[in-house]
Amino acid sequence: MSKTVIPFGPQHPVLPEPLHLKLVMEDEVIVEAIPAIGYVHRGLEKLTEVKEFTQNVFIVERICGICSMMHAMAYCQGVETLMNLQVPDRAKYLRVIWAELHRLHSHLLWLGLLADAFGFESLFMQVWRNREKVMDIMEETAGGRVIISVNAIGGTRRDMSPEALRKVAVIVDEIKEDMIQLEKVFMADYTVKHRLVGVGVLDPAIAYELGAVGPMARASGIKQDFRTTGYSAYGELDFEPVVETDGDSYARTMVRLREVYQSVDLIKQAIGKIPDGEISVPVKGMPNGEVISRVEQPRGEVLYYLKANGTKNLDRLRIRTPTFANIPTLLKMLPGSQLADVPILILTIDPCISCTER
């Protein structure tokens, strides 16, 4: 049987990220997938070496808009460790609230894009209507809808009033109620199940071997969530990693849908427990030494390596993003799949190519 090579991306009607794959086909079946990356390389890691360490907070936020808050959070936590800064408790809770709002934003965006990918336009619109409520919260509490710039070395730049916190709790409850109604569609609709169940099965042993992170790993039964280590205020909150065991596209959808509810619960817990007090501490001196800072982003664990030398500039900032960790699992899932399932499989790793290539 003759083989055909089909280029997929970097621009494609159902692909929101500029990922380029060369698909080797036999009829409609994929036998090999070869990635080609580098379309959005911006040299941000190099840029952080020439800017002052305090300015880098704004640079790392622009690695990715959807998880910008958590990029800054990971960077700030790394510098705070190097400088032995004790972040106020209130700032830790505020970081958790904004981080979980970003997780809500990311997962709702993804659920809508998934529905759009297999042609369920009304489901796409209903999910994004709820996402819009999250964007409005972030605009009201931080001044921005996507990149909110609330993190600072030593704490946060902004606070939330009691009235704002109560309003956030009410709105996330509304989002949860709406998503419970839409959950019936994601779980039981024939169209959704036909496109997702049994598609792109990732065996737990392979997921572990390839270093899958985030919902990709948890959908294959790997109980791995870096928030359980208790960084920031997560150690004061009650939650368990969301895990599914089937390892297919449907399981990955269910993990993200259930994590929407989990984020709502974490936000409400944080609002109920947030203490009074300062939101930042003075930053004196310069960072010195090496540190690894890790944070659980919506797509999985991000790893920041910082090397400082006691001056205002870093020697090195190296970032390992979750999409970079999950691309090998995508290349493992594609062979044997149908061409029509490629957009779905790419979306189920929730790719962020701007994160990966920086």
User: Could you give the domains of the chain?
Assistant: 40-357 (1.10.645.10)
Mean pLDDT rounded to a whole number for the chain = 86
Residue located via tokens 């870093």: 314
Give 94-144 pLDDT, tens digit per residue: 999 999 999 999 999 988 888 888 777 888 898 889 999 999 988 888 888
Instruction: Read off the pLDDT band of 187 (50, 70, 90).
Output: confident
Sheet architecture: strand order including 4-8: 4-8, 20-26, 29-36
- Which residue ranges make up the annotated binding site for Mg(2+)? 45, 319
Instruction: Read off the pLDDT band of 28 (50, 70, 90).
Output: confident
The confidence score (pLDDT) of residue 15 equals 65
Total residues found in the chain within this entry: 358
- Which residue ranges make up the annotated binding site? 45, 64, 67, 319, 352, 355
- Which residue ranges make up the annotated binding site for Ni(2+)? 64, 67, 352
Helix H or strand E encompassing 32: strand 29-36
- Which residue ranges make up the annotated binding site for Fe cation? 67, 355
Task: Let me know: does 279 contact 156? Beta carbons within 8 Å.
Answer: yes
What 3-state class would DSSP assign to 255? helix
Instruction: Read off the pLDDT band of 290 (50, 70, 90).
Output: very high
Give 308-348 pLDDT, tens digit per residue: 888 888 888 898 888 888 888 888 888 888 888 888 888 88
pTM of the shown model = 0.91
Higher pLDDT, 259 or 357: 259
The confidence score (pLDDT) of residue 341 equals 82
